[in-house]
Each structure stands twice: as C-alpha cells, then as structure tokens.
Amino acid sequence: MWFFRSPFIVFGEDGLSHLEQVTGRRAFIVTDAVMQKLGYVQKVQDRLAIAGIISAYFEEVEPEPSLKTVHACARAISDFEPDWVVGLRGEAPA
C-alpha cells in the first residue's frame, strides 16, 4: 500500500526560493531531459544544497508518461529513499 501526505504545493516564479527552507536529508527531483539540459535541475539542486539536502534526479519523463516510465521512476525514488520528491516541469504549450 502507498500512502502520500502532501501538506502543500509550492509553484510560481518564487517557488525555488522555498526549497532553501525545507528540512530533511534527501530530495528526489522528477523531470524531463529538457529541464535538465536547460539547467533547471541544477538550480533546484543548488537551492536544496543551501538547506543541507542532498539530491538526485530522474530525467526520463516524457509527455504522457508510459507505465514503464512511472515504474522506472518509482524504483529510482524507492532506491534513493528521499524525504522529499520535487516535480519539476516547464510551461505547458499554449
């Protein structure tokens, strides 16, 4: 059985600054290859490092993710055992 407790969602232009205030030891970033290549994953990791949190990421998410991708990401998250999971995505096309 899976249990999720999500007390809040932070998003928007100043969303990254909130990462400096989170507590924990480990965070896992879920994103796609474009966000990683554009440097946004590193920006998130830099903010988490300010909070003393080590991080890892999964960059294989495609639009309309397949069940195979979901399972691969879930395994990576489980192996890393994070306190936080950070979803990082770009703007949706207009």
With beta carbons less than 8 A apart as the criterion, state whether 75 and 62 touch.
no
Q: What is d(CA 94, CA 23) in angstroms, rounded to the nearest whole number?
A: 35
**Encoding tokens for residue 11?**
């998003």
Domain boundaries of the chain, sorted by first residue: 24-87
Contacts (Cβ under 8 Å, ≥6 apart) of 72: 58, 60
> If you classify domain 24-87 with CATH, what class do you get?
alpha beta
pTM score of the predicted model: 0.86
Q: What is the pLDDT along the chain (94 residues), one digit of tens a residue?
A: 556 666 677 777 788 888 999 899 999 999 999 999 999 999 999 999 999 999 999 999 998 999 999 999 999 999 999 999 999 987 655 4
Phi, psi of 45 (to 5 degrees): -60, -40
